[in-house]
Amino acid sequence: MTYTNLNSPNFFPLNPSRNLYVFGLAYTNDITSNAALKPEEAWNIDVKLDDGQPANGAIMGGRITTCTTATANTDTSATYLFSSSSIGCALIFTKPF
């Protein structure tokens, strides 16, 4: 699979030369449409397997405007958007595999 929007403004910057696993809904060529989790659900996975921070680590939260408190994809201090109970997150696993 090839994703064209890995470095869109709605996602934290990613290294496009590494293998990634994106957890979301049905495949499209645009992962901005692939939310599958509520922010708290995404955080639960991230905190158990990584660092619990959507912009850092091996697991990153996708769809920053509906998943995190970030106002731009450069906001690395963002947290998951716990005030939202809507499905708005995809998770991007960036560990090499």
pLDDT tens digits for 74-94? 999 999 999 999 999 988 888
Q: Where are the domains of the chain?
A: 21-93
Produce one character per residue of 1-25: b if its CB has 16 or more CB atoms within 10 Å, e if not: eebeebeeebbbebeeeeebebbbe
Q: Is the pTM of this model over 0.85?
A: no
How far is residue 97's CA from residue 26's CA, in Å, rounded to a whole number? Answer: 22
- 94 close to 18: Cβ distance less than 8 angstroms: yes
pLDDT tens digits for 32-70? 557 899 999 999 999 999 999 999 999 999 888 899 999
Query: In the numeric block, which tokens belong to residue 92?
Result: 């991007």
How far is residue 95's CA from residue 97's CA, in Å, rounded to a whole number? Answer: 6
